[in-house]
């Protein structure tokens, strides 16, 4: 009986007992990503067009503002979540985990479309060029949160999910390159648990940014989106915590 070729370094071969389910899952994930990317682009373009139809918008946010910083940093944070979700759609064994991953992928890809639409409208870079979370101030003096305890955590995340920083601390909750490699390699129940652990920590790490944006952004639509993120991710975090408990696993500590 003919066997398939040896392990492919791109890791796209079938994953269990020679079945074709792994390859089909990979193709499904790629198709989903292509579809959602197209939806997000259309949503972003629609948002841009909509802005020009209203005269009651506040002044254009400047570089370093809460609105711009939130959109840039949260785009980076979301990009990694979308990547993790796509991997889980392909490799997880639990249908509930795959469904959750799909929900996260579609929700956050659309939110990326909104944020990149705003940044384009404001003539700002789509990704941050300075320290992460410097737009979050702890007091009226405007001292950046990036210099506070708890911000200098973790190894650098993969190049596909970071901005143009060089040597900056990563944002709380971000998966390291080692975490991402382990997630890509995991299969079956192990993939279910690792995805839930990494995504739960990712959600928890991003919560302070979302809450700060909801409270301090100047543009009403930015505050509204930030609050939507808070509500959605709190619900997803509860769901992930429950699934981890059912699987006899515990959440990861914050990095």
Confidence of residue 16 (pLDDT cuts 50, 70, 90): very low
Sign of CA dihedral 105, 111, 112, 113: positive
Q: Does residue 176 carry a pLDDT above 80?
A: yes
232: Cα within 13 Å, side-chain hemisphere: 16
Contact at 8 Å (CB) between 149 and 133?
A: no
Give the per-residue pLDDT at 22.
Answer: 55
Per mean pLDDT, which of 6-10, 103-107, 130-134 is the most reliable? Answer: 103-107
User: Mean pLDDT, to the nearest integer, of 150-175?
Assistant: 51
Q: Does residue 138 carry a pLDDT above 90?
A: no
d(CA 15, CA 84): 18
Three-state secondary structure of the chain: CCCCCCCCCCCCCCCCCCCCHHHHHHHHHHHHHHHHHHHHHHHHHHHHHHHCCCCCCCCCCCCCCHHHHHHHHHHHHHHHHHHHHHHHHHHECCHHHHHHHHHHHHHHHHHHHHHHHHHHHCCCCCCCCCCCCCCCECCCCCCEHHHCCCCCECCCCCCCCCCCCCCCCECCCCCCHHHHHHHHHCCHHHHHHHHHHHHHHHHHHHHHHHHHHHHHCCCHHHHHHHHHHHHHHHHHHHHHHHHHHHCCCCCCCCC
Residue 37 neighbours by CB distance under 10 Å = 14
pTM: 0.74
Least confident stretch, 14-18, 131-135, 147-151, 225-229: 147-151
In tens, the pLDDT along 33-58 reads 655 564 555 455 445 544 543 555 66
Give the per-residue pLDDT at 73.
Answer: 97
In tens, the pLDDT along 180-233 reads 999 999 999 999 999 999 999 999 999 999 999 999 999 999 999 999 999 999
Mean pLDDT of the chain: 78
């Amino acid at each position: 009986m003919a066997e398939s070729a040896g392990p492919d370094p791109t890791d796209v071969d079938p994953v269990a007992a020679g079945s074709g389910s792994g390859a089909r899952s990979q193709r499904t994930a790629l198709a989903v990503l292509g579809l959602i990317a197209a939806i997000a682009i259309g949503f972003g373009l629609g948002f841009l067009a909509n802005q020009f139809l209203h005269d009651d918008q506040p002044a254009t946010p400047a570089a370093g503002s809460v609105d711009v910083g939130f959109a840039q940093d949260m785009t980076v944070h979301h990009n990694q979540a979308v990547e993790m979700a796509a991997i889980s759609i392909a490799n997880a064994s639990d249908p509930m985990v795959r469904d959750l991953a799909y929900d996260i992928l579609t929700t956050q890809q659309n939110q990326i479309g909104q944020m990149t639409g705003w940044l384009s409208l404001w003539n700002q870079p789509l990704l941050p060029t300075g320290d992460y979370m410097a737009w979050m101030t702890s007091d009226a003096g405007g001292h950046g949160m990036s210099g506070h305890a708890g911000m200098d955590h973790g190894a650098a995340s993969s190049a596909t999910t970071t901005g143009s920083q060089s040597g900056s601390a990563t944002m709380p909750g971000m998966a390291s390159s080692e975490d991402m490699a382990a997630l890509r390699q995991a299969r079956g129940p192990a993939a279910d648990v690792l995805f839930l652990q990494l995504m739960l920590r990712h959600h928890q790490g991003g919560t302070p940014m979302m809450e700060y944006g909801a409270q301090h952004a100047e543009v009403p639509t930015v505050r509204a989106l930030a609050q939507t993120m808070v509500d959605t991710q709190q619900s997803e975090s509860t769901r992930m915590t429950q699934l981890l408990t059912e699987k006899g696993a515990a959440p990861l500590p914050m990095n």
